[in-house]
Structure 1
Amino acid sequence: MFRVLKKSVHTGAGRLGTCAAAAMALSTAPAAAKDKANPLLKLAGAPAGLTLRGSYRSRIEVLDNQARASGPENDFMWSHRAILFAEYDTGPIRIGGELRDARAAGQRPNSTAGVGEVNSLEPVQAYLAADLGELFSAGSTAALTLGRVTLEIGSGRQIAEPDFPNSVNSYTGAVFEWNSQAEDRLVGFWTMPSTRLPNKPSDVHANGVKLDRMSDDLSLYGLSFTKADLFGGALGEAYALRLEEQDSPEYPTRNRRLTILGARVSRAPARGKLDFEVEAIRQVGLARASARPADENDREVEAYLVHVEIGRKGTDDWSIRPSLQFDIATGDDRDPTKLTRFDPLFGAPRGDFGPTSLYGAVTRSNLMSVGARVEVTPSKRTDAALMTRALWLNSPVDSFAATGVQDRTGASGRWAGVQFEGRVRHWILPKRLRVEGGAAWLAKGRFLRDAPNVSCRGDSHFGYLDLTVSF
């Protein structure tokens, strides 16, 4: 189902000191009292119409044997993410905003940590929303939002508001959303995606404060429709997106002019029932092979992605859900007139391909993969998942996924290896304090050991532990 303007999810906290103080207060208060009142809202006097939420997350992560072609062999990072969200509902008009402060420390000077990990004091949302009441059919609702927002479309494989990274993309423009009484949904939008700043490695390492850039040099617009009950409780989705990009003196680009057409059918997991998801995305248009100013040669774009998943949740106390996945995302071949590498755009790879941040080896570009996952929920406060994936290159002459590792001759083959990953989450205090830990192991195959620009031939190991306070 298309999820747009997820203002009520992951919302939360301002500066780190304030958040830490709130965390200490939460840890000493009775659990029953914490669940009855929002501490921030209570502090503000709980005026009618005001929504106020916050969160603070602290994470430690370590990496051994880098999978990327660049970056240190081993790395460490201690990151912090604080979020504060506020919205005031006057009746037909809502006024909202969200501030994020994402910082990191301890990483090596040549770390791969970037704008996904560091984006200090950024107002990712600032909007006016008008509730338009019933439109087109009885019992429907409609809203028009103007300003800066966050977006997630469908599965989030092209446009997402991910939770694992510290920072997210924001979009400035207009979003129209309509929902029928039967829960069908229509979304139309025109936006300017922000370029997250600072993006220079030295500024990232110093946690520099620089507001994200928006410009009509980069625009993203589209239309999506969700049918709530297509058949047997399944959702059907179709969407069309358009990305238009051009150079500016300070920010050279690949001048992408892409049309993206996607369709998805899915049935959500339910106890004792088969669930599934099938999504296909096609990208066509024009782009350049590089962002170099001297590169003025437009090439035809023709790329696609297919994702298939099938699973079944058990009826036992642990709600065990095994599932199987298949993914293919095209890569560039030897045709000099075409670009066939699938562009992840603003999508989130975490749900399908494991942790990002210092690890982030696998994403939706030049990839073929089959995998199996087991999810368990032993209690309302605890859940866990284990996943394994076999990984191949779609094209042996293109770089693999997000690693930058490439053999232009194709002599290193297609076999990238096997990835194992898992995570456990537990609410220490329900809805208030959660701990999460996870790990990934990439057993490298021939390609990731033999390609000419491999930086480290040993298997990659990654682990993280984080603590999140919500209030």
Structure 2
Amino acid sequence: MKRHRILAALACASAATVGPFAQAQENSAPSLQKTFGSDAFKIDGSFRTRFEGFDGAFRSSGATEDSLVSFRTLINAEYDAGNFRFGGTLQDSRAYDADTDTPLSTAEVNTFELLQAYVTAELGDFAGAGTSTELTAGRFTMNLGSKRLAATPGFRNTGNGFTGVKADWKGAGKQKFTAFYTLPQQRLPSAKSELLDNETEWDREGDDLRFWGAFFSAPAVNERSTVELYFYGLDEDDRSDRATRNRHLLTPGARIYSDQGTGLFDYEFEGAWQTGDIRTSSAAAAPQVDVSAYTIAAEVGYTFDTSIKPRVALVGNIASGDDPDSSDFNRFDTLFGIRRGEWGPSSSLFGPLSRNNIRDLGVRFEFKPSKRLDGFISAHSVWLDEETDSFAKTGIRDASGNSGDFGANQVEARLRYWIVPDFLQMDIGGAVLNKGSFLKDAPNVQDTSDTHYGYVDFYIHF
């Protein structure tokens, strides 16, 4: 069975990867910067090997147990020519040990892709003393605020790239402002047969999908606290070879948070509202309806003053689902956000929880006994916000609402260790999705057993 093959692969890979470097010294680690770099030319890269597997499917179809081996190579380079910087990122993401039942997607496969290719003009303090302004054009990635709505993933095997223009301003008082207008890269190929063969096709961008907006942050309340305000727009239209929901969404939001510190409480609160319009399906004749959706996230934590720096946090989230009694569409759209930090690993194989039709309450315990070792354990109970809408990312739905609103309990753990500091790192983790009444009783579930997922990553930074 594939599960047995992946366990064998994990054992072999651990020995083969860790062994040669176990006695290496940090200053002996090879790097592209040492070989090719200079003060003006910066270059670095990373190679990740991942082994992952699951059993007990949470989806309505597909494999009930599966495994995957994936590889991700990233090469980043930037040349500083004074008032201009020229940069790029080459991404190569591949997956193996998949078959026709594997839930494989462009989240794992995007081979030999130029994720970034940009030029940045440094305008200095023309906006005032103590300020700095930059203009960037081309292909680039973005990580805005909490990354819940706009980011490039770290855990997922492929990135989110955007083609367009972006302006970044920093004020004398630690204020920051970003404005952007982009055409998101639509990852290709997307056909299952092409993904299974790791075929190469240049990602596309076009005016059928536009993402734009502005983001502002500034110190607030005290020196540990920051407030953020943002406004994002998404415009999506059909094209001749692709039908869509014709999303036209406006998403204003705000966030306030404090920095974490030993012996201190910290907090985070974020809320966003979504308006606009969307088609009820991708059919050309489907009616367009108004959108009214929202999300709220909250976290309160405390870091204890001990040697392992333990932090305990209570977390809660709400993301609206579609209310059958409303004439509006109410399911929140996460745009280009990531969910790894709140709801566990998110890959083609796993990732049932997301910021759509969910209510979540959880606790998280983090520890960092040294610079080389850190980890966490978290537990969440999750419910549906609307009983008749599809639950989070599972695709499971009971249109009658008779399956209740309790989705599941999920327990997750992760441990990271630098085998060779700044060069070789191991990341091992997993999650158990203990299915609740909804994921057991809904009419389109295919497997009522709990879902078990595990992964091992090896990162080589060079």
**TM-score (ref. length: structure 2):** 0.94
Name the counterpart of 2:31: 39
Hey, what's the Cα distance between the residues in 1 that align with 2:186 and 2:405? Answer: 33
Q: Which consecutive unaligned segments of at least 5 residues does structure 2 have?
A: 1-16
- Deviation, 1:344, is 1.3
Is residue 2:272 matched to residue 1:281? yes
Hey, what's the Cα distance between the residues in 2 that align with 1:88 and 1:182? Answer: 29
RMSD (Å) for aligned C-alpha atoms: 1.6
Is residue 2:361 matched to residue 1:370? yes
Counting only pairs closer than 5 Å after superposition, residues 5-20 of structure 1 correspond to structure 2 as none
Is residue 2:457 matched to residue 1:457? no
Hey, what's the Cα distance between the residues in 2 that align with 1:412 and 1:224? Answer: 40
Is residue 2:220 matched to residue 1:226? no
Q: Which moved more, 1:205-214 or 1:362-371?
A: 205-214
Please give the secondary structure, in 2, of the residue aligned with 1:204: helix
8 Å CA contact retained: 2:21, 2:419: no
Is residue 2:21 matched to residue 1:27? yes
Q: Which consecutive unaligned segments of at least 5 residues does structure 1 have?
A: 1-22
1:347 is matched by which residue type in structure 2? G
Name the counterpart of 1:263: 254
1:371 is matched by which residue type in structure 2? G
Is residue 2:236 matched to residue 1:245? yes
- Deviation, 1:450, is 0.5
Please give the secondary structure, in 1, of the residue aligned with 2:230: strand
Name the counterpart of 2:437: 446
Name the counterpart of 1:190: 181
- Deviation, 1:43, is 2.4
Q: Identical aligned pairs, as a percentage?
A: 37
Aligned pair in 2 of structure 1 residues 62, 217: CA closer, same or farther (>3 Å)?
Answer: same
Name the counterpart of 2:290: 300
Name the counterpart of 1:418: 409
Please give the secondary structure, in 2, of the residue aligned with 1:111: coil
1:318 to 308, 319, 322: 308
Hey, what's the Cα distance between the residues in 1 that align with 2:38 and 2:314? Answer: 48
Counting only pairs closer than 5 Å after superposition, residues 344-383 of structure 1 correspond to structure 2 as 344-357=334-347, 358-383=349-374
1:67 is matched by which residue type in structure 2? F
Name the counterpart of 2:58: 67
Name the counterpart of 2:328: 338
Count of aligned pairs:
445
- Deviation, 1:337, is 2.9
Hey, what's the Cα distance between the residues in 1 that align with 2:159 and 2:255? Answer: 24
- Deviation, 1:194, is 1.1
8 Å CA contact retained: 1:76, 1:108: no
2:172 is matched by which residue type in structure 1? Q
- Deviation, 1:362, is 0.4
Hey, what's the Cα distance between the residues in 2 that align with 1:164 and 1:131? Answer: 31
Please give the secondary structure, in 2, of the residue aligned with 1:233: strand
Instruction: Render the CA deviation track for 1:122-153: whole Å, top value 9, x for unaligned.
Output: 10100000000003331111100000000111
**TM-score (ref. length: structure 1):** 0.92
Name the counterpart of 2:281: 290
Please give the secondary structure, in 1, of the residue aligned with 2:369: strand
Name the counterpart of 1:145: 136
Is residue 2:111 matched to residue 1:120? yes
Is residue 2:81 matched to residue 1:87? no
Please give the secondary structure, in 2, of the residue aligned with 1:352: helix
Hey, what's the Cα distance between the residues in 2 that align with 1:266 and 1:246? Answer: 36
8 Å CA contact retained: 1:72, 1:108: no
